[in-house]
Structure 1
Amino acid sequence: MKRIGDKTIWITGASSGIGEALTYELSKLGCSLVISSRNEAQLRTIKNKCTYPEQVHMLCLELDDYQGMDDVVLKAISFYGQIDILINNAGISQRSLIANTDIEVYKKLMDTNYLGTVALTKAILPHFIKQGKGQFVTVTSVMGKFGSPYRSGYCAAKHALHGFFDVLRMEHEKDGILVTLICPGFVNTNIAKNALTGSGLKQLSNDHATVNGLDPTVFAIKMIQAIREQKFEAYIGKKEILGVYLKRFLPKLLHRVVLKSEVR
């Protein structure tokens, strides 16, 4: 796919961070956009800042509301008559030790990061099959490839996404459906501030690694290129993406490196 400006793209988690940056960059390219999150006011602000706001529709979405997905998908399709690309970007992170984490926090992480994404994907899948084309672009994490302390539930959900979407790619390649998994390293967003602690409350503070991560706009531009190239997986970040390769070839070395890094 060389051109992307003629595509209709639905972005979840569009009210901040990576999703917001993607919205601006894709609007510059002339894409027809549907942007979703829980925060309608913030979506409206972002829409109005786009290069072509008249080509941006807002659609509020509660990702963990499984029963409502079919109606949400029908609404998204109604704006333009079709969706070409679904960018599964919405999600929440975690900062707590396993021993200190309530089971309800794990449920929240799985409901939002995994099951909500799966439910939305399944709801739009018949539309992609019917039109004989479609691309799922799912934002996971390098934490979907290896683990790190304080992120057990987050890592588990991201690992699960890789398993699900690898199989979806295999089962529906015959239907013209593509799957691209995007694995960010550290990106300078509010993900750490919004991360859940062991009790389920937000952390409300940032961390050194996140603050020094990639600029969201730089990340968005690299991600759009990966979408254009229809990559199976793309690792986008700084030196932390080397962990993907260490996990594959030198897992014990990665274990020592992660423990020494003291990343929170």
Structure 2
Amino acid sequence: MNYVSSCTPDERERFKMCKKKVVSLILVYLVAGSFLTPSVFGVEVVETLTCDDVDTDTREPLGTASVFLTHVNDVFAWVSMSGIQTGQTLRFIWSSPGGVIFSDNEVTLTTANTDYWDSISIKGSWPEQDPGIWSVEIYVDDALEDSVSFEIINYDAVVLREQARLIIIESLNNSIATLTQSYVSIQEDLMTLSSEIDTLSEDYTELNEDYSSLQESYNEANSDLQELMTEYSTIQDSYESLSAEYGSNSEELSSTQKALNTTRTLLYASAGLAVTLLIASAYLIYTGRKS
């Protein structure tokens, strides 16, 4: 059932009046939004970035970066938008790593452009003493359109790290140079050893051949030795036989020598006796003639 049809005439009249007021308010809002005040709903962010500087003539960013050292003078937040109109407000809010607002810059646009920027100082200000991840929020008519983050790094720490890195690199280069020299020296030693091994291999081959030759000579000498041992055994037997025969002959010779000595003695005795007898006979003959 229709709610309006069930109402009393007074209620229906009040409902019509409310309806007219609502329609009138909607029309006023639309007209005011279209003609009196620029609308933020048509703004579109094309690009947002941070950089070292901005060319004021071309409105282009210079040195796009997301990391900045503490010795850098400034950091810029640059944004390109479409649909923004004069009379609107553009606001840049810069916040530290701890979320504390460092800078809040707001400007009402007097000319309609597409590229806008804002900047803060690093060197000599708070950001130099508070390195870390910073952020920039960009508002148009108090409506957040975009945000961008960047990092501030302590320059002294970077220098120290770089110096340490260079020292490490230099140490590594020295170590590599030393290892390279050692490698070259080892390669040369290996080549020398390889040459010596080849020489030793040749010497071993020659020695092996000499050993084979000596082995054959040894076998021949051993065979000759066996023959000589056999001959020695035969000679030994002959020597023993001759020794026994020599002993027997020696005994016979001794006996013969004794007999010869006896015979010689008898002979000498007989000769003496014969001379004596001869002398005696001669004497007797001599004495007989004399008488």
**Which bracket does the TM-score occupy, shorter chain normalised?**
under 0.3
Provide TM-score, normalisation by structure 2: 0.18
Structure number with larger C-alpha Rg? 2
Q: Which structure carries more strand by proportion?
A: 2
Provide TM-score, normalisation by structure 1: 0.20
Flag the structure with more relative contact order, 1 or 2, with Cα contacts below 8 A and sequence separation at least 6: 1
Q: Which structure carries more helix by proportion?
A: 2
